[in-house]
Structure 1
Amino acid sequence: MLKSQDAENDFFKSNVLGHPSGLFVLFFTEMWERFSYYGMRALLVLFLTSSILGDNAGWGWPRENALAIYGSYTSLAYLTPILGGYVADRIIGYRWAVIVGAFLMTLGHLSMAFEFNPIFMYLGLCLLVLGNGFFKPNMTSIIAQMYEKHPEKKDGAYTIFYMGVNAGAFLGMLLCGYIGESPDWGWSYGFGLAGVFMLLGMLQFYFTQGIFGHIGEKPVYDGETIATANEKPEEAKRNPFSNFDLTVISIIAVIGLTWVINDPLSKITSVNLFNFSVGSMTGNTFIIIIALALFLFILVKRILQYTPVLRDKMIAVIILAFFTIFFWASFEQAGGSMTIFAKDYTARILEGNAKIVFNIVNTLITVVPLIVITYVLYKLFRQTFQRFTFGNIILAFAFIIIWSLVIFMLKAQYLTEQAEVPATWFGVLNALFIITLAPIFSRIWESKYNPFATYKNGIGMILLGTGFAVLAYGASGIPQGAQTAAVSMMWLVFAYLFHTMGELCISPVGLSYVSKLVPGRMIAIMFGIWYLAIAIGNKIAGTMGGMIDEITAQYSMSTFFLIFTIIPISLGLLIILLTPVMKKLMHGVK
């Protein structure tokens, strides 16, 4: 059996805002990791596509090439959690996996600070992908164990955790974006800043991990059964992977990894690993169909080996994951085509009254959320400072740096005669709206008005499509094939608002449903499967985003955004219609 959870370490007797203080240790650890991830992500496409000439020179890549490497990077960042989840589940435990992942990501960000050297840039991306694999699934797995006997509070806990995710994303895009885009600083400082906060996040977690008691430690197993609170004894029998299973999975992994890497490689260089054809199919198409067929085979084979009830619940997770693919394929345009739209098609130069209004608004949306997060930090200090002094000092030091950078940035913006809104600033809106709206959605999910999973997913998809409909309308005046334009900033603001509400309906509660539907012994692996769906969505996002020039040249910018309008809304209506089927598959899980 797994180690005792030490009577849950009296987690719910040490509360911060109605939840265990341990949740907020994870909140801040994840916040710094997301600071580094989104700070770097905000800069990547802009750096790759910026001219090789000028005060803040980039690499001057075509948009298609930049979005190919962006899609592959974000895709791989969600693929490696499958391996990281397995290693944590079977070998090192969740907590050490988080520490190892954070260390690798720190090295990755610092390597990218040497952006003038392609070797360091590619090495940095590789380290980030590997580190993310250890870090990402195991943070959520720790939460799943913490709330194992409190399933009614899981939706709210994951939504609060998701607020921490977006607090980090908000600060990362704001500060790394500002410093990286500024000719006075440059890309190296933007990438390097991301590494500094990843290091601080790792140290804060390491010196405060005692708060979790036995949760997340290296697993100890006894015999062939691993029963947990949310599964029946007859479902607790282990179902190990056979040698045949592992062989097929290895083949799928090799094919998938090679395909994801080959996409940007074939565009950036003359090397194409799949430079052949099978009938009318290209090598790329043929090889991915083979991988997909093998994946479906092994998935069905594994599911059939479980008891009927557990089998139904796993099918429910897979259906939700399928719709998640299309959500992220559209939503992740934020770091790709929407960033390009912000940079090249949006009016970002402000003067006079417009500049004054922007400075006031920017100050409010920066300072007010930071005050709220600092208040949460204060509440955590009151509960944990005496027991975990050094970890809290590191956390306080990180906030001193954050406040100093924010004050410096705002002061510099007020002193300029003309404001140029950074292209990365629009990405901040998503995180800002999350911070603002997450408590409201959390209350709804914990109330009697909490809708069923399919309604949440359906509404989320429809809201996402609505955001792209706003962009399609706003871009209607851009001439066919235009490379630049100057449409109003408000279209992007409204698009991000709708996208954020859609995200709150799907992403955080999706993790919660996975943890409710599968046994504790399978949590990290099933989170890995969930992240696989997100990885596929991210790669599709990069591929579709890379077609922005081709579609706008042949049709229009509005047509490009209409594609991302019609598909999500149609799928949203479909999953709502599947509600009766999903209720049967979920066997009473709400």
Structure 2
Amino acid sequence: MAEQSTDQFFKDKVLGHPSGLFVLFFTEMWERFSYYGMRAILVIFLTGSLLGDNPGWEWTSSAALSLLGTYAMLVYLTPLLGGWLADNKIGYRMAVVIGALLMTIGHASMAIETPTFLYIGIAFLIIGNGFFKPNMTSIISKMYEGHDEKKDGAYNIFYMGVNAGAFIGIMLCGWVGEKIGWSYGFGLAGVFMLLGMLQFYFAQPLFGKLGDKPVKTKAAIKGNNDESVSTVKLNHFSILDYVLIAVFTISAIIFIINDPLSKIGDIQTFNFTVAGLSDSLFFALLAAISFILLLIIRIPRYVAIERDRMIAFAIFCLFTIFFWAAFEQAAGSLPIYTRDFTNRILEGNAATTFKVIDLIVTVVPLGIITYVLLSLFRQTFKRIGLSNIILGCSFIIVWAIVLYKLFVEYQSTETEVPITWFAILNSLFIIMFAPLFTKWWDSKYNPPASVKYFLGLLLLGLGFGFLAFGAKDVPAGAQTASLSMAWLVLAYLFHTLGELCLSPMGLSYLSKLIPARMVAFMFGVYYLAIAIGNKLAHYIGGDIEKITKEYSLSTFFLIFTLIPIVLGLVSLVLHPLLKRLMHGVR
């Protein structure tokens, strides 16, 4: 039945896949363009000098990263609610449109460049992301029902759109924000979010009833409520479970709100200390303890195999927290390091070489994506002409900015590499190396989970090791230095290789280890782990000025070198235990 209902989507193919997939590809690409484009300039703008041609707000790194951390944390939590609303109330397609519209308003608000509109904008981005993020992949999943052999290829194409959007967004919003004006950078993110939403909205004829508002039949409702047909012993939530969930939720919300309030506006919500801990740290610790207790109490109540597999997945989630806590320095402390401690001025042959490299890495990916765009036009222009025209206009704007950027850069004899340019290396390296890792994982040499986590954490730590080594001669208290850009390039390379080892593992092992009836709960646990990692990243990263002043810049990066490597070795040591807990799952 599923095969018949989805065959219609395979009538108009682009590169062997339904044309609707490529509408989703470009919609996701513009959303990632806006997300990563805005994020690339946020910290640089907030911590930038009040004086100069393109002034910032001169916030402390602690204040700026506290705001970024809370934003990044909530971005991973709101999709849990947005996904539920789409599943049960409004449908996937309407959720995507609502989310894109809210994010457009958010970017437009940030372009006004006042504190009030900054906070309003970030709130809209968080809520809009909750509607948008979980529902694009849900539409793909429904589109490919009955065509499971095509799903892997579909997701590979879709995630190329994710990386293409991140790449182009960081490059253009970063360059426009740094060279022309911050508000133009924030505004550009909003323009493409709006164009992405309109392109998706006017492409609805391609999707038929796919992703419409859900309609529950009486049979479905009866099936959902009929527990008598199930022989599985359910693990109902006890009163203690609910108490721990309440303590965790309240404590986490207080911490999430109080941390930026205290650092940005010096607003102390509770203004107390417990055993030397500030009110923010106290509630963070209380949230962590209550959640760990919840897992300790709930998981042993499952039957043996389920219990063991959930313990294994919980261990992987713990490694995930620390991986993202280090990896996400790319959005916080690394832009500050790039601006203040890296020599980005190139002259002569070095400047010429950079211009050639920049030309290649800009034009080649954009040319490939434009080819995909033209292929989509040929298949769908008669059915969704307006959507195609909007998408075409988007690319005309992109090419115009790219050509203007290249023209400006080629006019100057001295080149200053933009701070944000280095952030595109992550997406570039993913595009380059992802096919190799895919072949590795599909071969007989595919390593077990514990080894993948070891490799991911080891490579991540080595990336920071290059930065620590490069900064070894920078004295304590130094506010500027002129270090080689090579250290940053090596760091981003090793961080990306670590990401390719570890990042795809979480959802893969969630599907393999967790029974279907518990996927929602453990999916929430996994996303919570990433959210905590993001908040922890910027909570620690915000101390870059303090640690550099009291110790050294090298010490700051040494923290992110040693902790991941040690945890990677722990993962390796735990291999026999994890293998036993996974009960045959590879």
After TM superposition, the score normalised by the length of structure 1 is 0.89
Cα deviation for residue 84 of structure 1 reads 1.7
Question: Is contact 1:333-1:545 (8 Å) kept?
Answer: yes
Aligned with residue 55 of structure 1, among 40, 43, 53: 53
- Once the two structures are overlaid, the 10-residue window that deviates more, 482-491 or 145-154, is 145-154
Q: What letter corresponds to residue 136 of structure 1 in structure 2? A: K
Partner of 1:230: none
Cα deviation for residue 141 of structure 1 reads 3.5
Cα deviation for residue 257 of structure 1 reads 2.2
Partner of 2:136: 139
Question: Is contact 2:62-2:542 (8 Å) kept?
Answer: yes
- Once the two structures are overlaid, the 10-residue window that deviates more, 345-354 or 569-578, is 569-578
Cα 1:215–1:305 shift into 2, 3 Å: farther
Cα deviation for residue 310 of structure 1 reads 4.8
Q: Distance in 2 between matches of 1:302 and 1:204?
A: 45
- Once the two structures are overlaid, the 10-residue window that deviates more, 256-265 or 296-305, is 296-305
The one-character-per-residue Cα deviations of 1:174-210 (angstroms, maximum 9, x if unpaired) are 100101111xx20111000000111122222233355
Partner of 2:90: 92
Aligned with residue 532 of structure 1, among 528, 546, 559: 528
Q: Write the mapping of 1:183-202 to structure 2, written as runs, cut at 5 A.
A: 185-202=180-197
Secondary structure of residue in 2 paired with 1:223: helix
Q: What letter corresponds to residue 466 of structure 1 in structure 2? A: L
Question: Is contact 1:304-1:311 (8 Å) kept?
Answer: yes
Partner of 1:317: 313
Q: Distance in 2 between matches of 1:421 and 1:23?
A: 36
> Does the alignment pair 1:542 with 2:538?
yes
Partner of 1:122: 119
Q: Write the mapping of 1:248-327 to structure 2, written as runs, cut at 5 A.
A: 249-300=245-296, 303=299, 309-327=305-323
The one-character-per-residue Cα deviations of 1:74-117 (angstroms, maximum 9, x if unpaired) are 112112222222322332233322222111111100110101x2
Cα deviation for residue 292 of structure 1 reads 2.2
Secondary structure of residue in 2 paired with 1:424: helix
Cα 1:27–1:40 shift into 2, 3 Å: same
Partner of 2:198: 203
Cα deviation for residue 300 of structure 1 reads 5.0
Cα deviation for residue 418 of structure 1 reads 1.9
Cα 1:317–1:144 shift into 2, 3 Å: farther
Q: Distance in 1 between matches of 2:307 and 2:222?
A: 20
Cα deviation for residue 387 of structure 1 reads 4.0
Q: What letter corresponds to residue 67 of structure 1 in structure 2? A: L
Cα deviation for residue 438 of structure 1 reads 2.2
Count of aligned residue pairs for this structure pair: 580
Q: Distance in 1 between matches of 2:146 and 2:574?
A: 29
Q: Distance in 1 between matches of 2:536 and 2:330?
A: 13
Partner of 1:438: 434
Q: Write the mapping of 1:155-194 to structure 2, written as runs, cut at 5 A.
A: 157-182=154-179, 185-194=180-189
Aligned sequence identity (%): 59
Cα deviation for residue 255 of structure 1 reads 2.5
- Once the two structures are overlaid, the 10-residue window that deviates more, 361-370 or 262-271, is 262-271
Cα 1:507–1:10 shift into 2, 3 Å: farther
Q: Distance in 1 between matches of 2:8 and 2:57?
A: 53
Q: Distance in 2 between matches of 1:293 and 1:203?
A: 45
Q: What letter corresponds to residue 547 of structure 1 in structure 2? A: D
Q: What letter corresponds to residue 548 of structure 2 in structure 1? A: T
Cα deviation for residue 268 of structure 1 reads 1.7
Q: Distance in 2 between matches of 1:20 and 1:243?
A: 48
Q: What letter corresponds to residue 459 of structure 1 in structure 2? A: L
The one-character-per-residue Cα deviations of 1:1-35 (angstroms, maximum 9, x if unpaired) are xx957544366676555655544333222211111
The one-character-per-residue Cα deviations of 1:332-354 (angstroms, maximum 9, x if unpaired) are 10111111111010011122222
RMSD after superposition: 3.0
Q: What letter corresponds to residue 331 of structure 2 in structure 1? A: G
Secondary structure of residue in 1 paired with 2:91: helix
Partner of 2:69: 71
Question: Is contact 2:173-2:189 (8 Å) kept?
Answer: yes
Q: Distance in 1 between matches of 2:234 and 2:213?
A: 18
Cα deviation for residue 415 of structure 1 reads 0.8
Partner of 2:78: 80
Cα 1:372–1:310 shift into 2, 3 Å: farther
Partner of 1:501: 497
Cα deviation for residue 501 of structure 1 reads 1.1
The one-character-per-residue Cα deviations of 1:311-348 (angstroms, maximum 9, x if unpaired) are 55444433322211111100110111111111010011
The one-character-per-residue Cα deviations of 1:278-332 (angstroms, maximum 9, x if unpaired) are 3444322332232223323444555567665555544443332221111110011
Cα 1:450–1:384 shift into 2, 3 Å: farther
- Once the two structures are overlaid, the 10-residue window that deviates more, 336-345 or 524-533, is 524-533
Partner of 1:105: 103
Q: Distance in 2 between matches of 1:318 and 1:34?
A: 29
Q: What letter corresponds to residue 69 of structure 1 in structure 2? A: L
Query: Which runs of no fewer than 5 residues in structure 2 stay unpaired?
Result: none
Cα 1:245–1:161 shift into 2, 3 Å: farther
Q: Distance in 1 between matches of 2:411 and 2:195?
A: 31
Cα 1:281–1:62 shift into 2, 3 Å: closer
Question: Is contact 2:199-2:387 (8 Å) kept?
Answer: yes
> Does the alignment pair 1:402 with 2:361?
no
Q: Write the mapping of 1:196-235 to structure 2, written as runs, cut at 5 A.
A: 196-209=191-204, 211-212=206-207, 215-221=210-216, 222-223=220-221, 225=223, 234=230
Q: Which structure exhibits the higher relative contact order, with contacts defined as CA atoms closer than 8 Å and separated by 6 or more residues?
A: 1
Q: Distance in 1 between matches of 2:515 and 2:381?
A: 34
Cα 1:500–1:209 shift into 2, 3 Å: farther
- Once the two structures are overlaid, the 10-residue window that deviates more, 128-137 or 243-252, is 243-252
Secondary structure of residue in 2 paired with 1:80: helix
Q: What letter corresponds to residue 43 of structure 1 in structure 2? A: I
- Once the two structures are overlaid, the 10-residue window that deviates more, 370-379 or 44-53, is 370-379
Question: Is contact 2:254-2:283 (8 Å) kept?
Answer: no
Secondary structure of residue in 2 paired with 1:59: coil
Partner of 1:32: 30
Q: Distance in 1 between matches of 2:521 and 2:391?
A: 31
Cα 1:506–1:17 shift into 2, 3 Å: farther
Question: Is contact 1:181-1:422 (8 Å) kept?
Answer: yes
Cα deviation for residue 51 of structure 1 reads 1.2
Q: Distance in 2 between matches of 1:317 and 1:148?
A: 27
Q: Distance in 2 between matches of 1:337 and 1:25?
A: 35
Q: What letter corresponds to residue 196 of structure 1 in structure 2? A: V
Question: Is contact 1:156-1:442 (8 Å) kept?
Answer: no
Cα 1:393–1:437 shift into 2, 3 Å: farther
Cα deviation for residue 44 of structure 1 reads 0.6
Partner of 2:40: 42
- Once the two structures are overlaid, the 10-residue window that deviates more, 323-332 or 155-164, is 155-164
Q: Distance in 1 between matches of 2:388 and 2:572?
A: 45
After TM superposition, the score normalised by the length of structure 2 is 0.90
Question: Is contact 2:2-2:145 (8 Å) kept?
Answer: no
Q: What letter corresponds to residue 193 of structure 1 in structure 2? A: L
Q: What letter corresponds to residue 189 of structure 1 in structure 2? A: Y
Cα 1:547–1:332 shift into 2, 3 Å: same
- Once the two structures are overlaid, the 10-residue window that deviates more, 544-553 or 326-335, is 544-553
Secondary structure of residue in 1 paired with 2:504: helix
Question: Is contact 1:63-1:546 (8 Å) kept?
Answer: yes
